[in-house]
Amino acid sequence: MTKILVTGGAGYVGSHACKALAAAGYEPVVFDNLCAGHDWAVKWGVLEVGDLLDRERINEVVAAHKPAGAIHFASLAYVGESVTDPGKYWRNNVTGAINLCDALAAAETDAIVFSSSCTVYGLTKAPFINEAEPVAPINPYGNTKRAIEIMLADYEVANGMRNTVLRYFNAAGCDADCEIGEVHDPETHLIPLAIAAATGDRECLKIFGTDYPTADGTCVRDYVHVTDLANAHVRAVGRMLDGGKSDIFNLGAGAGYSVREVIDAVGRVVGIPVDVIDDARRAGDPARLVANISHAQQSLGWQPEHSSLDNIVSTAWNWYRAHTVAAQGA
Ligand code: UDP
């Protein structure tokens, strides 16, 4: 079987990608330091515990497995923390990516898929963002993502290592079989927080900003199901292994929902209205971030098939219940 190195494969999007890779006949090799990932989430392929800041360890794992390609998820991803501790983000995200690319280059692995983010577009005003939109990240997390995108182009020139950059919009939802799901500590994402507020596991949900220039005054985002994201990675890997050229793809559902619309969907699916309180804007939140996904549809032959808002929220709710019950040992 063709081995694919998956850094961060014990994390939320990474573990869903491993499931999709295995279903497509690949053998994932997960490399994860388990600082945000979970060993229980590695259910497809082996887990090699290691930190990308440890050059020897990543060199050893790549040399041992000789993967045909790599998907690089491993990254610190809290925007707020990146503002207060930029060194931690630059050191971890960028140095980690350098060490990974060096290890891949030494093993002559010539294809990498990189998890980037729509955060590289900054405060864009484009209603539907395509890949040609100027990039202008506005926080250290986004800067590290953009820096790695630039760096990958340099590795291609030097080593012939082709890259596919996937810029995610809002990853959401969970595996339909509830084998894996979203577990962040701390949790900062809207949908799991709204579910916890509906069930009473958290007091109430703060709506960050109600005076945006949107229909209901709250931010509009493009929520894409994590299973759809996972499938896009499989397509990107296949394209790279077939000799495809380096490219950049936006991955979203191509539709926008406001914070209030998401909260209404959570109330509907859970069957209990979400207790909310209007709060101040969160620093660095653009009013609207919605993808134009035609490039991924045309060039990867990909469709966001699982990304209706109700399916996203239903799968997140199923996982929340399963995980909460499991965590309580019931
Ligand atoms: N949001 C909110 N309250 C929360 C968490 C998030 O109002 O407790 C809003 C946030 O301002 C943004 C949207 O929900 O407009 C999605 O935020 P999330 O953190 O889930 O993803 P992000 O867009 O930051 O990647």
Each residue's pLDDT, cut to its tens digit, for the chain (330 residues) gives: 999 999 999 999 999 999 999 999 999 999 999 999 999 999 999 999 999 999 999 999 999 999 999 999 999 999 999 999 999 999 999 999 999 999 999 999 999 999 999 999 999 989 999 999 999 999 999 999 999 999 999 999 999 999 999 999 999 999 999 999 999 999 999 999 999 999 999 999 999 999 999 999 999 999 999 999 999 999 999 999 999 999 999 999 999 999 999 999 999 999 999 999 999 999 888 999 999 999 999 999 999 999 999 999 999 999 999 987 666 654
Pick from 76, 187, 204, 221 the residue to mutate for probing ligand 1's pocket: most ligand atoms within 8 Å of its CB: 221
In angstroms, rounded to a whole number, what is the distance separating the alpha carbons of residues 139 and 133? Answer: 18
Ligand 1 centroid from CA 38, angstroms: 23
Is there an atom of ligand 1 within 6 Å of 193 CB? yes
What tokens does 77 get? 């991803």
Q: What dihedral angle (degrees, nearest 10) is formed by the CA atoms of 63, 66, 69, 70?
A: -40
- Active-site entry in 12, 26, 121, 141: 141
Q: Which CATH number fits domain 2-169+225-251: 1.10.260.40, 3.40.50.1370, 3.40.50.11540, 3.40.50.720?
A: 3.40.50.720
- pTM exceeds 0.95 for this model: yes
Q: From the CA of 188, give the closest atom in ligand 1.
A: 19
- Specify the residue with its C-alpha closest to ligand 1, atom 1: 190
Is there an atom of ligand 1 within 6 Å of 202 CB? no
Buried b (16+ CB within 10 A) or exposed e, 153-181: eebbeebebbbbbbbbbbbbbbbeeebbb
Q: How far is CA 240 from the centre of its chain?
A: 19
Domain ranges for the chain: 2-169+225-251
Catalytic residue flag (residue 78): no
Confidence at residue 134, expressed as pLDDT on a 0 to 100 scale: 97
Buried b (16+ CB within 10 A) or exposed e, 111-126: bbbbbbbbbbbbebee
